[in-house]
């Protein structure tokens, strides 16, 4: 989500007197499945008693892979669509449905704006799909 989009969401929240809340998804990249085979060298601490070197085939996405962000976005988008949200055509990181708008920032941080009841219902529904932390009301820090 771009900075100008964040400004628009903040303006909408202020204009309509909506709650603006933040959510952090834990291990977001680990929730997504890789769509291709990815191999990596063994970590330095890992060794086999037979002295041979092996490679690891990843089953899940991890931080640092080029495709991790996209894999997580595809997974998250599927979750949001299953919850009845639509993607904003102009900004794929923004999802909306009646009474609530959810914006993603750096893929794993979410800003939710809308009525208090709608935002709380969304958080409960999302918590059933992914492990997350409710960061509460959005605040500005420099």
Tell which phi-psi region holds residue 72, choosing left (phi > 0), alpha (psi between -120 and 50) or beta.
Answer: alpha
- Using an 8 Å Cβ cutoff, are 87 and 95 in contact? yes
- Using an 8 Å Cβ cutoff, are 100 and 114 in contact? yes
Tell which phi-psi region holds residue 98, choosing left (phi > 0), alpha (psi between -120 and 50) or beta.
Answer: beta
Answer positive or negative: Cα dihedral of 59, 52, 49, 44: negative
pTM: 0.81
What does the pLDDT look like over 36-89, one tens digit per residue?
A: 888 888 777 776 666 677 788 888 888 888 888 888 888 899 999 999 999 998
Other C-beta atoms lying within 10 Å of the C-beta of residue 51: 6
> Quick one: average pLDDT of 110-128?
92
3-state secondary structure of 49: coil
Q: Which CATH fold topology does 3-37+64-137 show?
A: TATA-Binding Protein (3.30.310)
């Amino acid at each position: 989500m771009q900075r100008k989009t964040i400004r628009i969401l903040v303006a909408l929240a202020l204009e309509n007197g909506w709650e603006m809340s933040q959510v952090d998804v834990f291990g977001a990249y680990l929730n997504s499945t890789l769509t291709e085979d990815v191999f990596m060298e063994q970590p330095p601490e890992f060794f086999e008693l037979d002295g041979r070197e092996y490679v690891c085939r990843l089953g899940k996405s991890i931080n640092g892979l080029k495709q991790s962000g996209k894999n997580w976005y595809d997974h998250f988008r599927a979750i949001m669509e299953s919850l009845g949200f639509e993607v904003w055509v102009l900004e794929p990181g923004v999802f909306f449905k009646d009474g609530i708008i959810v914006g993603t920032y750096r893929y794993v941080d979410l800003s939710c704006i809308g009525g208090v009841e709608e935002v709380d219902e969304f958080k409960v529904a999302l918590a059933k799909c992914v492990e997350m932390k409710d960061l509460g009301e959005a605040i500005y820090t420099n």
